[in-house]
Amino acid sequence: MVHKIFLRLLSKGRECIWYCQKPKLFIRQPVTLTFGRTVRSFHVASPLMMKLLSVEEIFARKSLHQHLTKVQLEYKECLQAISSITMEDQCSEEELRAKRTKISLLAPLIQSIRDLDKKYEEMAETEMLLKEEDQALRELAELEKEGCLRDIQQLRAKILELLIPEERVELSDLVLEVTAGVGGQEAMLFTTEVFEMYQGFAQYHGWSFDILEHMTSDLGGLRHASASISGPQSYKKMKFEAGVHRVQRVPKTENKGRMHTSTMTVAVLPQPTEISFTINQKDLRIDTKRASGAGGQHVNTTDSAVRIVHLPTGVVAECQQERSQLKNREKAMKALRAKLYSMKLEEETSKRYNQRKIQVGTKGRSEKIRTYNFPQDRITDHRISITVHDVKSFLLGEDLLEDMNSLLQEFSNQEALMELLEESSQEDQ
């Protein structure tokens, strides 16, 4: 065995050193965070409700190893069930199909666990070579050890990522709604800035941004607006933006220089597919009317605006952006489907979210999630108590918003994993 390791070390030589990017799934709570090639400065506004643990700290937990053992046993039992003729006779076709699906889902995780075990064995063998008297052999063994440590770190991070349960709406597109809150005209002006920030965020990621509603105020602010956003991971990245956004600044309408506090609300509604969610046409009342506001000669002359009411729930969706009544109807229907689908998902997940500790990304419309303080040039996310500076750059919807989003995802991932391990431990008891 030692000779095999020695030959492998000689074949690698100095080439066994390579750059390994730090796993992004679980990070410690730093003052300065690195996102890709960009270094961002954050500070903690108040004590964090949950500490971000490192990969090593997660793997030091007994509950994780117990859960991994449980998963491996479950995988083995499913394999035995579908390969045994006796079991095939005893199980129904539906049960066998469920076991095959389970095997398919667990296979990547099981393979990563096995790869990690092999790396542990390699590490132990390499440790033996470090005790050899030959200096050249010890140097090569040291290089092999560094490589093993990097591989182990990567495999651990991959295992944690595979353990995190995926929400079925993660890959959905979405309908974004923004509504002015407390603060009158100032709230409407801020709503315009936030809506434009998300339009910039969509452009930053290469997503489509199709405006469904756009109700403006006399001063150019937004009373209410909605847009359909489509693109890779659009809902996954936007879901943390739902909630109440607060702005603190001296409004343009203020003559005495006093700072005001205003709010606006963001709703992020996953857009269902035709297969996953259907609406009975008999449950709809569709009204047409003349569009209002700015928009050219067609405004107030043709019945192009469409209003759809879902009678069983009373949910309403409107659209008057297009000149064509047919196009407005399609957009209104898209918004209605998103609203009803979101209601359905909230009913299914409300119990689970109520049990979670910090509730990152609960999409609660009454939950104050973020403050934009212009005099102090800071943005504070209250769910994770993290502050970043440079409001102007943040409102562009580019790097800073992406960085804050990534940090929220880190917290949410860890929260979901801790919940999974806790539930697994309770089942074992």
- Counting other chains too, the contacts that 390-399 makes at CB distance below 8 Å and 24 or more residues apart are 394/197, 395/193, 395/194, 395/196, 395/197, 396/197, 396/200, 397/196, 397/197, 397/198, 397/199, 397/200, 397/201, 397/202, 397/203, 397/204, 398/200, 398/201, 398/204, 399/35, 399/38, 399/40
Neighbours of 371 (CB within 10 A): 20
Q: What is the pLDDT of residue 138?
A: 85
- pLDDT at residue number 261: 92
User: Exposed e or buried b for every residue in 142-169, given b needs 16+ CB within 10 A?
Assistant: ebbbebbebbbbbbbbbbbbbbeeebeb
Q: Report strand pairing: 38-44 vs 305-310.
A: unpaired
pTM of the complete model:
0.70
Which stretch of DSSP H or E encloses residue 308? strand 305-310
Q: Which two tokens stand for residue 383?
A: 């769910």
DSSP-derived letter for residue 248 is E
For residues 408 and 237, give the distance between their C-alpha atoms in angstroms, rounded to a whole number: 10
Residue-level pLDDT at 117: 95
Residue 13: its pLDDT value, please? 43
Q: Going from the N-terminus, what domains does the chain have, and what CATH number goes with each?
A: 2-163 (no CATH), 173-397 (3.30.70.1660)
Q: How far apart are CA 220 and CA 192, in angstroms?
A: 8
C-alpha Rg value of the chain to the nearest Å: 27
Distances (CA, A) of 164 to 100, 161, 346: 20, 6, 20
Mean pLDDT, consecutive 10-residue stretches, the chain (429 aa), reads 45 34 34 42 51 89 94 91 64 78 91 95 90 85 91 95 78 87 92 97 96 87 93 91 93 81 91 70 85 52 79 88 84 86 70 42 59 96 92 96 93 89 81
Report pLDDT for 330: 86
Q: Between the CA of residue 163 and those of 55, 103, 285, 391, 417, what are the distances in Å?
A: 13, 14, 44, 36, 7
Supply 251's token pair. 């409004």
Query: By CB neighbour count within 10 A (0-12 exposed, 13-18 middle, 19+ buried), where does 201 fall?
Result: buried
